[in-house]
């Protein structure tokens, strides 16, 4: 039920990065559910992770291993979250097994998991899957990896870009999974971006944070933040001089190049949201700060009444006003608030617009994609987020998730 999800385009291999997958049988049958990503010596990994207090075991392990890295292991179907000391031991053991097979240090391997919370990993399946994935690895494994990390996703999501960084040609390919439990905060679902650019460890993590703030931290499907959210930037170091710090022209060039990639991945994530039938952009401007614009935007996007009205195509604009008023904005004056659906004026100065035509608003909300615009009338700040509706199918998917 994805909303205008573009087909996969050509995915560029990244010099110094290979990917392999396997059907480990962790939860799913007859499909790959484990991926191994192998990095050449000299690669660095930066990342950002969930802010949930209930951080999964692989998040705890991976977040301590940023910097020089040689491999990642990712499984779907089991989150290895809420699994205590055994879960930590299993995450470390998965990394250790991959490290031993590659002949690298254990601390150079980062584990990642996604899926059902509260169940232990089948370590025999993990080890066998790692062996199979390593044997199958190639530089052209990006699409297979995008498929292997899927859970309730309906299709793989991956994007590639090429561009110049201070005259040097740089390539990047990224993959993402995530359809539900998605309201990232300084992280995302599971997303992995590989580039042949050369970065210091600190620059890699700063880049991951900057990119997440422009993309994955601007989307929401259901308002829930996962225990396993992770976004990783892998830099193989095969192109250009080393970018040592998150500043200067080279860093800015690379950030702009990769921003187009991660924004596209973020939008595809919303388009493939669980049960999504609408792709909605929410623009809030006229705020005093970006933070209060985001507060209003997310309050609108997380309202079940708003989301069900979007699903129904019902221009019940009072629900938008309700959500705006519920946002935690001190001193917000409703008499200065304007609301538009695409280019249809709905409310002016807190009241229905004199020239409001409900049939026009209904026509907007009947579309697969439209924009909600809110003007707060109290400043110059502006922010944009992306969201989806709340459908019967979303309820069915999550009611039957473990069936």
Q: Is the dihedral of CA 350, 355, 357, 360 positive or negative?
A: negative
Strand order in the sheet with 34-39: 17-22, 34-39, 71-78, 109-116
CB count in 10 Å sphere of residue 121: 27
Give the residue from 117, 115, 112 showing the smallest Cα distance to 83: 117
Rounded to the nearest 5°, which phi and psi values hold at 378?
A: -140, 5
Beta strands at 190-199 and 230-243: parallel, antiparallel or unpaired: parallel
- Locus of tokens 């990342």: 47
Confirm whether 114 is a catalytic residue.
no
**Cα torsion through 48, 52, 55, 59, rounded to 10:** -10
Structure tokens at 297: 């935007």
* Cβ contact 10:172 at 8 Å: no
d(CA 342, CA 8) in angstroms, rounded, equals: 28
* Cβ contact 106:99 at 8 Å: yes
d(CA 310, CA 303) in angstroms, rounded, equals: 11
d(CA 177, CA 6) in angstroms, rounded, equals: 15
Residue count of the chain, please give it.
403
Out of 83, 188, 281, 387, pick the active-site residue. 188
Helix, strand, coil % in the chain, rounded to nearest 5: 35, 30, 35
Alpha helices for 280-355 (secondary structure H): 290-302, 304-312, 318-326
Residue 125: in which H helix or E strand, if any?
helix 123-136
Residues acting as catalytic residues: 188
């Amino acid at each position: 039920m994805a909303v205008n999800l573009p087909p996969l385009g050509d995915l560029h291999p990244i010099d110094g990065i290979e990917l392999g997958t396997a059907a480990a049988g962790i939860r799913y049958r007859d499909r790959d559910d484990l991926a191994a990503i192998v990095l050449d010596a000299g690669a660095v990994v930066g990342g950002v992770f969930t802010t949930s207090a209930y951080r999964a075991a692989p998040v705890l392990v991976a977040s301590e291993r940023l910097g020089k890295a040689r491999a990642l292991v990712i499984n779907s179907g089991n989150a290895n979250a809420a699994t205590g000391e055994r879960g930590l031991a299993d995450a470390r053991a998965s990394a250790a097994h991959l490290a031993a097979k590659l002949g690298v240090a254990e601390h150079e391997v980062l584990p990642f998991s996604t899926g059902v919370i509260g169940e232990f990993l089948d370590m025999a399946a993990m080890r066998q899957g790692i062996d199979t994935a390593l044997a199958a690895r190639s530089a052209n494994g990006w699409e297979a990896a995008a498929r292997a990390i899927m859970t309730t996703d309906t299709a793989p999501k991956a994007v590639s870009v090429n561009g110049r960084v201070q005259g040097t040609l740089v390539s990047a390919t990224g993959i993402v999974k995530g359809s539900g439990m998605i309201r990232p905060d300084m992280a995302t679902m599971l997303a992995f971006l590989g580039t042949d650019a050369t970065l210091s460890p600190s620059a890699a993590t700063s880049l991951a944070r900057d990119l997440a703030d422009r993309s994955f931290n601007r989307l929401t499907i259901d308002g829930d933040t996962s225990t396993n959210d992770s976004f990783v930037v892998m830099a193989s170091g095969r192109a250009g001089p080393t970018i040592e710090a998150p500043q200067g022209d080279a860093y800015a060039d690379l950030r702009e190049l990769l921003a187009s990639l991660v924004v596209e991945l973020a939008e595809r994530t919303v388009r493939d949201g669980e049960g999504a039938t609408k792709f909605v952009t929410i623009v809030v401007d006229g705020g005093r700060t970006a933070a209060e614009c985001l507060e209003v935007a997310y309050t609108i996007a997380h309202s079940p009444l708003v989301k069900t009205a979007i699903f129904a195509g019902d221009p019940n604009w009072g629900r938008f006003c309700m959500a705006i008023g519920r946002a935690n904005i001190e001193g917000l004056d409703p008499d200065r608030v304007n609301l538009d659906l695409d280019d249809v004026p709905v409310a002016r100065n807190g009241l229905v617009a004199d020239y409001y035509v409900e049939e026009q608003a209904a026509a907007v909300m009947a579309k697969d994609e439209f924009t909600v615009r809110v003007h707060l009338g109290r400043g110059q700040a502006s922010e944009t987020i992306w969201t989806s509706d709340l459908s019967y199918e979303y309820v069915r998917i999550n009611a039957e998730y473990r069936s």
